[in-house]
Structure 1
Amino acid sequence: MAKPSDKTLVVLRFSALGDVAMCVPVLLALKRTHPHLNLIFVTKGRFLPVIAAIPGVRVIPLESENGNSGLPRLFSLGFQIFRTNPAAVADLHNVLRTKLLRVMPGSWLTPWRHLDKGRAEKAALTREENKVFAPLMSGHERSAEVFRKLGYSLQVEASDVLPARSLPEGINLGAEEAKLIGLAPFAAHAGKSYPPALVEELLGLLSGKADCNILLFGGGKKETDLFSRWESQYPNVQSMAGRFSMSEELAVISNLELMISMDSGNGHLAAMFGVPVVSVWGVTHPYAGFAPFGQPDSNSLTADREQFPLVPTSVYGNTYPEGYEQAIASVNPAQIAGKVAELLRQ
């Protein structure tokens, strides 16, 4: 068997979209510090466009060609990984499937390090009683620590972002001289989604600006239907839902002047291109370590903790006490519009 190459490092992060996007600045910092490294990144196939633009990174899809990602595919993937004779494996996911890969035959010949999720301190941050309300290590730093444990020094810097991509030919995003503002008002859980009535109020404040075009990002039938209605109801508003491939949508995001996002993947996608992000938080909080990369704390607009003292109620926004689904509404549209105006003046 060939000796392991000191230039090949396998990185595992299967999902989710926002978490994969959070890996980008860390990988860029790693490549900047260790340009000789060849990286193999394993993730879901649909996330390939997020990673593909990083020079010297090869992406292996989690799924087989027929879309299977079950145990047979997992073991096939493991053999595929070990055939590359990597110097080490960085597990940035640390879930059951990556743990199974660690115990496959041959895996013990390769150094492995995995992500420390900080479960204890996150539990302390989100519990109802004796809450420890203090900022935790960012997700970016947690990933960087994995590489440091493998012996690869790196320091993630604000400049570790991707360049803007060329827009697809023939795309019409409104007046050419207008500033493009992205708005992704929804998220996977109700406690992280901005109420539609408040989205409409926000659109009323933003869409009247002649020098701005508002681009709506999201998916799902309910969201798409709302976007279509708002597109026809407000000037200078366009829905991006279902119009583009992921690669094309990333190109649009990379050319934004600014993104308004809830605690969701779109904020991380914008941040990996160095786009300013105004993030809006409900039952979650940036103290858990999931703020978009490179953004000042002042860009995170959080729920009123005097009114909702148990925030954050969970790390992912999937659990919260009765009534806390309204916590995000304590960030009012005028507050968001004011922060947007402030950033556009800079």
Structure 2
Amino acid sequence: MRAPDPRPQRALRLAGGTALALAAGFALAPPLPYVAPLLALFLLAQRNQALPLKAAIGLPLLVMLTTGCGLLLIPPLQHAPVSGLLLIALCLFHCFRYNRRGGNALLGTFMIVGLTLIAAAGASSFALAVTVIEALAKGLLLAVLAASIAHAIFPEPAAVVVPPPPAAESAFDAGWVALRATLVVMPALLVALIDPSRYLPLIMKSVSLGQQVCSRDTRDAGRELVGATLLGGALAMLFWSLLGIQPKLWMFFLWTLLFVLLLARRLYRLLPGRASPGFWLNCMATLVLLLGQSVEDSAAGKDVYRAFAIRLALFIGVALYAWLAVSLIDRWRAHSIARRARKA
């Protein structure tokens, strides 16, 4: 007897959990309400099994503790900026390397997000850094709750065999990949230091790109990085136009459910395509970030279309830089391997 195909359930779970986290985030209005759906997206995409009760309770506390350690980086950034940035780059490098060496990818991702957001916010204001920690903690609580409800409604089929975790990379390969991802994230952090309250979504976009470039196959890096950003921006414009017909929270929830479900079908290869799963995950992250910040701009009375255009241009700029960084680092790595081979 054939095992049931779990992919339809996973697509429905991803769309339902992300939409539910988005609705809860904007209904309860914590700081940075778009953080909750973004974390739910990462949580559901990286785990096909529901979090155990202890993990569901302990993960927000653990992430709050680890991200709180980012407060220790504020004094070096304020009094010795170069040393502080180098220290942040070192921490990011080890976080990415930890993921590639077989560490807990979910915890590593949250540590990277917290480290970069808090460092940028704290360089401007300690109170803003505390607000970001609060936003991450509340957003993760909502994300975990939404993911648990999604798993309860769309459970993983019992007959599905859980594949073994991928083998950890060698220290040499993991180091190169971590260096590549760190160089992708750092420029966005530098830009965010100019005005943290305005550019925090840019950091989260760069973290998403950093996760995507951790793939060792970079032959289609331009299409993967820039294409996902462009498609996410186009879908966000279409979404915003449709939401304008009936700008209500329940319609925001339903449109999110539909858009994420359509992209999730590509992510889980229910519809064939050449793009990798990272492409579609990056596209969904771009969609959530652009829409979430646009809703915030609209509530604050800002010019939504001007802010959207500037933010999308920054996202595309970061994606283009990521493509360039990946190409240069991979060439450097190829030359390094060739030199080592000649010496041997």
Q: Tell me the TM-score normalised to structure 2 length.
A: 0.26
Q: Which structure has the greater CA radius of gyration?
A: 1
Q: Per residue, is there more strand in 1 or in 2?
A: 1
Structure having greater relative contact order (Cα 8 Å, sep ≥ 6): 2
Q: Tell me the TM-score normalised to structure 1 length.
A: 0.26
Q: Per residue, is there more helix in 1 or in 2?
A: 2
